[in-house]
Structure 1
Amino acid sequence: MSVKKIVIGAGILAIAGYFYLEQRVKKIIKQFEFVKIYPVAFKKLDAKWNDGKPFVTFNLDLKLVNPTAQHFSAQLTAVTLKRILFYDKKNMLLGSANVNVKAINIAPNSSTIIPNVPVQMDLQTAITNVLGALNVSNFNSSDIRIEVIVSILGTEHKIS
C-alpha cells in the first residue's frame, strides 16, 4: 500500500468522522432545548470581597429534567456543559455557575441531579433583586431564568 492511498484513506475517514460528529452534536443541541434545569438545594453559603466588590458564593444542587419520551445522552468528549447563568425577569444577570460536566444521561420522563455546583453572585445585584422581589407580592422561583452555555468542539452555544 502506498503512502498516497493511506493519506487519502485517512482524509476520507476524517471527513466522514467530522460529518458524523456534527450530526450527533446537532441532535444533542436539539434535545438539550427540552431539558429543564431546577435548583434543588443550597449549601455552604459564604460572602467574600473581590476587587472592592462584594459577592456571595454557595453550592447548588441542580436537577435536570427530561420531559420527553426520548433518552437524553450527551456523552461525547466534544460536548461539555460549561456554565449556567441566572437572570431575573428583567434580564439582569444574578450570578453564574461553572459546571464543566462532560457526560449527562437522563432517562425518558426522568431526571438527574448534578450536586455541588459552585455559584457566584454579585451581592449588590442580589440585594437589589431581593428588595425588588419583596416589593412584588407575587414573586416566585419561576421569575428566575436559567441559561445554559454548552461547549461543542470548542464553540460555545447558549440554550435558554
Structure 2
Amino acid sequence: MSVKKIVIGAGILAVVGYFYLEQRVKKIIEQFQFVRIYPVAFKKLDMKWNDGKPFITFNLDLKLVNPTAQNFSAQITAVTLKRILFYDKKNMLLGTANVNVKAINIAANSSTIIPNVPVQMDLQTTILGVLGVLNTSNFNSNDIRIEVIVSILGTEHKIY
C-alpha cells in the first residue's frame, strides 16, 4: 500500500467519524432538553471572602430526572456536563455549580443523583434575591431557572 492511499483512507475515516459524532451529539442535546434537574441535599455550608466580596459555598446533591420513555445516555468523551447556573425570575445570577461530569446514564422514567456538586453563590446577590422573594408572598420553586452548560468537542452549549 502506498502512503497516498493510507492518507486518503485516514482522511475519509476522519470525515465519516466527524459526521457520526456530530449526529450523536445532536441527539444527546435533543434528549437533554427533557431531563430535569432538582436539588436534593445541601452539605458543608461555608462563607468565604474573595477579592473583597463575600460568597457562600456548599455542596449540593443534584437529582437528574428522565421523564421520557427513552433511555438517556451521554457516555461519549466528547460531551461533558460542565456547569449549572441558577437564576432568579428576573434573570439575576444566583450561583454557579461546577460539575464536570463526562458520563451520564438515566434509564427511561427514572432518575440518578450526582453527589457533592460544589456550588458558589455571591452573598450580595443572594441577599438581594432573598429580599425580593420576601417582598412577594407567592414564591415557588419555578421562580428559580436552571441553565446547563454542556461542552461538546471543546465548544460550550447552553441548554435551558
TM-score (norm 1): 0.99
| Unmatched 5+ stretches in structure 1 | none
Give the deviation of 1:140 after TM superposition. 1.8
Partner of 2:39: 39
**Residue correspondences, number:** 160
Report how far residue 136 of structure 1 moved.
1.1
Whole-Å separation in 2 of the counterparts to 1:65 and 1:32: 10
1:141 offset after TM fit, Å?
Answer: 1.8
Runs of 4+ in 1 over 2 A off after TM superposition: none
> Is 1:114 the counterpart of 2:114 in the alignment?
yes
**RMSD, aligned CA:** 0.6
CA distance in 2, matches of 1:106, 1:8: 39
Q: 1:79 maps to which residue?
A: 79
SS in 2 for 1:54: strand
SS at match of 1:89: coil
Q: Which residue of 2 aligns with 1:4?
A: 4
1:43, CA displacement in angstroms?
Answer: 0.5
SS of the residue 1:70 aligns to:
coil
SS at match of 2:73: strand
Q: Give the stretch that moved more between structures: 75-84 or 125-134.
A: 125-134
Instruction: Report what 2:13 is aligned to.
Output: 13
- In the alignment, is residue 68 of structure 1 matched against residue 68 of structure 2? yes
Local SS of the residue matching 2:125: helix
Q: Report the equivalent of 1:90.
A: 90
Question: TM-score, normalised to structure 2's length?
Answer: 0.99
> Is 1:135 paired with 2:145?
no
- Cα distance between partner residues in 2 of 1:65 and 1:126: 26
Instruction: Give the C-alpha shift of residue 132 in structure 1.
Output: 1.2
CA distance in 1, matches of 2:59, 2:141: 17
Q: State the distance in 1 between where 2:87 and 2:14 align.
A: 41
Name the stretch that deviates more: 128-137 or 82-91.
128-137
Identical aligned residues as a percent: 89
Match of 1:148 in 2: 148
| Structure 1 residues 101-142: Cα deviation after superposition (integer angstroms, max 9, x where no partner) | 000000001000000000000000001111111121111222
Q: Which amino acid aligns with 1:131?
A: L
Q: Which letter does structure 1 place at the counterpart of 2:84?
A: I
Equivalent residue number for residue 52 of structure 1: 52
> Structure 2: any 5+ residue segments left out of the alignment?
none
